[in-house]
Amino acid sequence: MLKEYLSEVKQLDLETTIIIIYSTFILLLGIYLRRMHLLLPRQIFLDRLIFLGILYTASPFVLFFIFKHKPKDFGISLGHVKKWAKESLVLYLIMAVILFFAFQFTNLKFAYPLYRRAAQRTDIFLIYQAIKLFHMFSWEFFFRGFMLFSLEKKVGKLSILIQTIPFAIMHYRKPQLEAYGSIFAGIFLGILGLRARSFLPCALLHFFVALTADILGILF
C-alpha cells in the first residue's frame, strides 16, 4: 500500500505541490506566530500587521530563487496600467457603494477601524493607515502575486479559485459579513490581477476599500 501512495505522490506536479504546501505552511506559521510581540510590544495589533507583512513579503522569495523565477512570474510588474487603472476605479466605486449601505444597515459600523485608537486621533489614524498600506501590499503580493501567478503557469485560471480558498479562510477573525464577502473579493481580485498582469492594482484596491471602511466606521 505504501508503494501505491508514493506512486500517487510522484504523479503530482512537483512545483505545484511545493507551492501549495509551502504557502499553506506560511499561512499556518503566521497564525501561530502572530502572538509574538517583537516590534511594538505596547501596540499588539500594529505589531501583528508589521510582523505578518514581513512574513508574507519575504517568504515567497524562497521559492523565487529555488525555481529561478523572474519578478513578473510573481506579478511584480506595473502590468497593463491603463487597463487596470480604469477597472480598479470602477471596482472601487462599486465596493464603496456596497460599503455605504452595509455600514448604514448592518453592525459593520461597530467593527471599524479594527484598531480602535485610530478613531481617536488623526496622527494615530495616519500611522495606522501607513502600516496597513504595507500590510495590504504584502498580503496581496502573497495571494495575488505569489500564489496566483505561480500557480497560473501550471493550472491556468483555476489559480483564481485555488488562492481564493485560503484568502477567505484567513478572514475568520473578521465580521461574518466581511468573511463571506471575501470569497467573492478573492475571485474578483484574482481576475483583476491576471488581467492586469500585476498584483499592484489588487493591493491598491484592497487598501482603498479598507481605508473607506475605516472612514465610514468613524463617520457612522
**pTM of the complete model:** 0.91
CB 167 within 8 A of CB 186: yes
Is the pLDDT at 27 greater than 90, yes or no?
A: yes
DSSP letters, 136-187, are HHHHHIIIIIIIHHHHHHHHTTHHHHHHHHHHHHTTTTS-HHHHHHHHHHHH
Using DSSP's 3-state secondary structure scheme, residue 188 falls into helix
Is the pLDDT at 129 greater than 60, yes or no?
A: yes
Q: In this predicted structure, what is the pLDDT of residue 143?
A: 97
Single-letter residue type at 128: Y
- 10 Å CB burial of residue 50 (0-12, 13-18, 19+) is middle
pLDDT band at 43 (very low <50, low <70, confident <90, very high): low
CA 89 to chain centre: 19
CB atoms within 10 A of CB 22: 18
Is the pLDDT at 105 greater than 60, yes or no?
A: yes
Q: In this predicted structure, what is the pLDDT of residue 134?
A: 96
Please tell me the distance from the alpha carbon of residue 94 to that of residue 151, in angstroms, as a whole number.
29
Q: How confident is the model over 99-117, as a mean pLDDT?
A: 90
Q: Can you say whether the dihedral through the CA atoms of 135, 137, 138, 143 is positive or negative?
A: positive
CB 3 within 8 A of CB 25: no
Q: How confident is the model over 161-166, as a mean pLDDT?
A: 96
